[in-house]
Structure 1
Amino acid sequence: MPVFAKNAVFQGLAGAIDCTIDWPDGPLRGWALVLHPHPLHGGARDNKIVTTIARACVQQGLVAVRPNFRGVGASAGEFDRAVGETADMHELVAQFSAANPELADGKWVLAGFSFGTAVAAQLYAGLAQQRQKTPNALILAGTAVDRFKFRDVVVPEDTLLIHGERDEVVPLSESMDFARAHGLPVVVVPDASHFFHGRLITLKLLLQQRLAAL
């Protein structure tokens, strides 16, 4: 399915949130918010795991929103260990939903990779606590939620956790600890590194399977 992208700017608590929005060329089922890895270690919206997740979403008829966190690209502010980033994503969700009510009424996927999982999980918890609409699917790859946790985290029982067996950045044991605490299964990709080198096709197939079930 062809994809066309455009830039958009939303307003977070620190100023501009610079985003790319990938649009499917076909019927729209809803939207996805896809969050990138650590900003101080080269993480940005064009990370290959982020774009792989976004493409999988687009192929399922979801508009994929890929923001840059604070201090990355043209996004304002400085790295805030997930606290400010999570607050910014609350603002983005509200603004995007208000501007695109037809998408907000459809399916919604929230996904993150590495540092982005911490923001995604805490965004989900905040929305649930405030009794706001929560995503239909939560996808966490290379889970690093506990490294940047500032609030109690509640995630749905069908959360998709994907982790590389040989993750050299976030050890598999860390993902297992998170999964154990929340009663979740973990999908382990054999021999995969943190960035799923040589395993992106496997990652995409796992994503497509989950998204097709929405």
Structure 2
Amino acid sequence: MLARTQNITFEGAAGPIDCALDLPMSAPRGWALVLHPHPLHGGARDNKIVTTIARACVQHGLAALRPNFRGVGASAGEFDAAVGETSDMELLLRQFGQAYPELSQGKWVLAGFSFGTSVAAQLYSVLAEQSQKVPDALLLFGSAVERFRFRTVEVPADTFLVHGEADEVVPLSESMEFARAHGLPMVVVPDASHFFHGKLIALKQLLQLRLAAV
């Protein structure tokens, strides 16, 4: 259950990044950065998959930060095919650590849905390459990493990869190729579409099991 949601703003390379921060009832033990789907196809921080992920994180004692990418809501700039968006998230991480040191020192989860998975995976790769603090868990739903990849991607062996069997946007075979290339196991939700219509409860249950290990 949410205690409250705060609207906060950080500064990206193209200008303000409009964010919502969901806070749990008790003192948070860490935080989650949850990234939304394609901005040019209606993707925004209030997407139902994004909010489902955020609520599950909050239930596990994590504050959940949901930024709007460039050109969405009050966020400045224009869609940049994950390049500018990844840069923006790097800047956001630094500012978040300064604004919320007590959260940034705790557990950290990085999650993405669809287009958001590409930003998340490449952000993880940048942090690892620069020997910065990487997330305690990387969660990718409806993975579209390769569609917007602009750099080498390295993800941890325990990456949580979930895909719908009947995904009509990113075919299961495409996500399977990504999993195979990185030696990752993948959870396939039977009959689920890209937006997991009618499968959100199952999706949340899977996520809660993973979060219990964080």
TM-score under structure 2 normalisation?
Answer: 0.99
Report the Cα distance in structure 1 between the residues aligned to 2:2 and 2:146, rounded to whole angstroms: 37
- Conserved in 2, the CA contact under 8 Å of 1:8 and 1:20? yes
2:186 maps to 186
Question: What is the Cα deviation at residue 47 of structure 1?
Answer: 0.2
Report the Cα distance in structure 1 between the residues aligned to 2:151 and 2:51, rounded to whole angstroms: 28
> What percentage of aligned pairs have identical amino acids?
74
2:50 maps to 50
* RMSD, matched Cα: 0.6
Provide Cα deviations, 1:136-160, integer angstroms capped at 9, x if missing partner.
0000000000000000000000000
Report the Cα distance in structure 1 between the residues aligned to 2:99 and 2:129, rounded to whole angstroms: 24
SS of alignment partner, residue 63 of structure 1: strand
- Conserved in 1, the CA contact under 8 Å of 2:29 and 2:103? yes
1:41 maps to 41
2:102 maps to 102
Question: What is the Cα deviation at residue 182 of structure 1?
Answer: 0.2
2:118 maps to 118
SS of alignment partner, residue 118 of structure 2: helix
Report the Cα distance in structure 1 between the residues aligned to 2:167 and 2:2, rounded to whole angstroms: 32
Report the Cα distance in structure 2 between the residues aligned to 1:105 and 1:26, rounded to whole angstroms: 17
Report the Cα distance in structure 1 between the residues aligned to 2:2 and 2:149, rounded to whole angstroms: 37
Question: What is the Cα deviation at residue 109 of structure 1?
Answer: 0.2
2:91 maps to 91
1:129 maps to 129
Question: What is the Cα deviation at residue 178 of structure 1?
Answer: 0.2
Provide Cα deviations, 1:13-59, integer angstroms capped at 9, x if missing partner.
00000000000011311000000000000000000000000000000
Which structure 2 residues correspond to residues 57-68 of structure 1 after superposition, within 5 A? 57-68=57-68
Report the Cα distance in structure 1 between the residues aligned to 2:82 and 2:179, rounded to whole angstroms: 20
Which amino acid is 2:51 matched to?
Answer: T
Which structure 2 residues correspond to residues 110-189 of structure 1 after superposition, within 5 A? 110-189=110-189
Which structure 2 residues correspond to residues 19-30 of structure 1 after superposition, within 5 A? 19-30=19-30
Question: What is the Cα deviation at residue 98 of structure 1?
Answer: 1.2
Count residues with an aligned counterpart: 214
Report the Cα distance in structure 2 between the residues aligned to 1:76 and 1:181, rounded to whole angstroms: 35
Question: What is the Cα deviation at residue 3 of structure 1?
Answer: 3.5
Structure 1 gap segments, 5+ residues each: none
Which amino acid is 1:192 matched to?
Answer: A
Report the Cα distance in structure 1 between the residues aligned to 2:209 and 2:198, rounded to whole angstroms: 19
Report the Cα distance in structure 2 between the residues aligned to 1:102 and 1:71, rounded to whole angstroms: 30
- Bigger shift: residues 21-30 or 48-57: 21-30
- Conserved in 2, the CA contact under 8 Å of 1:3 and 1:58? no
- Conserved in 1, the CA contact under 8 Å of 2:21 and 2:63? yes
